[in-house]
Each structure stands twice: as C-alpha cells, then as structure tokens.
Amino acid sequence: MADLLEYSYMQRALVAGVLVGGLCALIGVYVVLKGLAFIGAGISHASLGGIALGVAAGVNPILSAFAFSVLVAWLIGVVSKRLSVREDTSIGIFFASAQALGVLIIGLMRDYQVDLLGYLFGSIVSVTPADVWIAGTVTFLVVLLVVLLFKDLLFMVFDSEMATVTGVPASRLYFLLLTLIALTVVVAIKVVGIVLVSALVVTPAAAAYQLTESFRKMMAISVVFGVASCVAGLILADVLRIAPGATIVMFVTVLFFSCALVSPRRRRKRASAS
C-alpha cells in the first residue's frame, strides 16, 4: 500500500475513489428508498450526449455532461409528473434519445480523438487534479444540501403526499433530488464509467439496507461500503492488473450478497414464514 502511494496518479485515484464512493453511497440511500434505481442508469447513459456535446464545443466533457444530465433529469421529472407518463417510461425515452444524440454527434466528428472507452468503462487511474477538484466540489455541494434539507428530503422520500399536505415542497425536493442524482452520476463516470456507474450508486445502499432499519445507520453504513469498495477495488485492480472500475463494482456486489446472507430482515422473514 505504501509503495502505491508513492505515485501521484495513485494518490489522485485514491482521493477520487474516496470522494466518489462516499458520494454515490450517500445519494444511493435516497435512490434505493425512493425506488429510483432505473433513473441512475438512465442518466448515466444519457450523459454520453453531454460528453459528445462538450467534445464538439471544445469544452471539458465532464462539465458539459453535468449540464446535459441535469437537463435530462428535469425532463424525466417533468414528463412523468405533467404528462401522466410512468416514470420508467419517461426514463426509457430519454435514456435512448440522449444516448442516440451522443452517438450521432460522435459519428459526425471526423477528427474525433477522445478515448470513448475511458468514459464508457471508467479510468480512475487517469484522473487529473482538475477531476479531483470537480469531485471534491460536487461532493461538498451535495453533502451540504443533504445536511441542510435532511428532514424534508427524508419526509419526501417516505411519503411525498403527506409531505405536501404538511407544507413541505415535495415537488421541488423531488427535482432537487433528481439534480443531485445527476451530479453524482456524472462525477462518478471517471471512476467506474457510464456502463457501471449505476451499480456504485445503488449497491452500497442496497447492502446497507440489508443490515438496518434505521435511516441514519443505513446512510452511514452505505457510505462506509462505498468508500471501502473504491479503495479496495482500486488496490486489488493494481495488484492483479485488471480493470479498476469493474473490480470496484464486483467488490461492492460481493459486499451486497454477504450482507444479504446475514441480513436481519431475511431472518425475520424466514421466521415469520415458518
């Protein structure tokens, strides 16, 4: 471990992994409890359109992906809320169309030289100082909003109708949550890639859900799982010379099934069934 930290690229990768792993796990708690897992996958794939627009415009693809993904998240919310379309249907529409836009733009750029595989499957060991600053800024912003709006977000997640009745702006909080999900998904692209990012958002929280019924404890356990998975996955990938993003996702998946095997929820269900 000490030898790995001698290299600046590994230092940046570890910092990025801690920030992104913790951030994804934090937001993942809301995603799991609200039943928004498909939104994470939809936004991550739709971000390809934002990356392509950034490359075409000559700006940082991650920054353009932030703006584009937030827009897509809002459109998903608007279509599902205002047009009486099922949320999963709305996600499916923008999932495909935004990704298709990215493919079309990339196909039209004759001098396209950006490593697309790096965005699709992640490249944590190639994160730049700018990437680390972006991850740190987004993490600080998201954590700040979660802390400030903790009770209202919790109320909205568990009972949005009752929250509205009691004066909590549930609709605005829903769109804020979509925004936070979009920011989190995009910032994680450099770590695990577009294809795998939804797993880093959902799986740590799903694993924590197996171990506790307390929201605060679930959030704390989820963050620990997210950070541990990124750090352990990165170290294992370096030792075994395998893909870091895939290793991180496989590590957290093993964590989930381990938690499911010892889950108090599972034991109670078996006891009540018998």
The single-letter DSSP state of residue 262 is T
CA distance 209 to 222: 8
Residue 213 exposed, middle or buried by CB count within 10 Å (0-12, 13-18, 19+): exposed
Tell which residue, 22, 30, 21, 38, has the closest CA to residue 215.
Answer: 30
The pLDDT, as a whole number, for residue 208 is: 94
- Tell me which of 29 and 79 has the higher pLDDT: 29
- Give how far the C-alpha of residue 252 lies from the chain's centroid of Cα atoms, to the nearest Å: 13
Q: What is the rounded distance in angstroms from the CA atom of residue 57 to the CA atom of residue 157?
A: 38
The predicted pLDDT at position 222 comes to 95
> pLDDT, tens digit, for every residue of 35-46?
888 888 888 888
pLDDT in tens, 203-239: 999 999 999 889 999 999 999 999 999 999 988 988 8
Q: How far is CA 153 from the centre of its chain?
A: 18
User: Considering the domain 4-273 in this protein, what is its CATH number?
Assistant: 1.10.3470.10
What pLDDT is recorded for position 146? 93
CB 140 within 8 A of CB 132: no
Q: 125 to each of 4, 80, 116, 132, 184, how far by Cα in Å? A: 12, 38, 16, 11, 19
- Mean pLDDT is lowest, of 79-83, 152-156, 232-236, 241-245, for 79-83
Tokens 């951030």 belong to residue:
23
Q: Are 44 and 197 in contact (CB under 8 A)?
A: yes
Sign of CA dihedral 24, 30, 33, 36: negative
Q: At what angle do helices 129-148 and 170-187 cross, to 10 degrees?
A: 160
> Does residue 9 have a pLDDT over 80?
no
CA distance 234 to 271: 39
Q: Mean pLDDT, the chain, as a whole number?
A: 84
Query: How many other C-beta atoms can be found within 10 angstroms of the C-beta atom of residue 108?
Result: 10
Name the DSSP letter for residue 166.
T
User: CA 67, CA 37: separation in Å to the nearest integer?
Assistant: 21
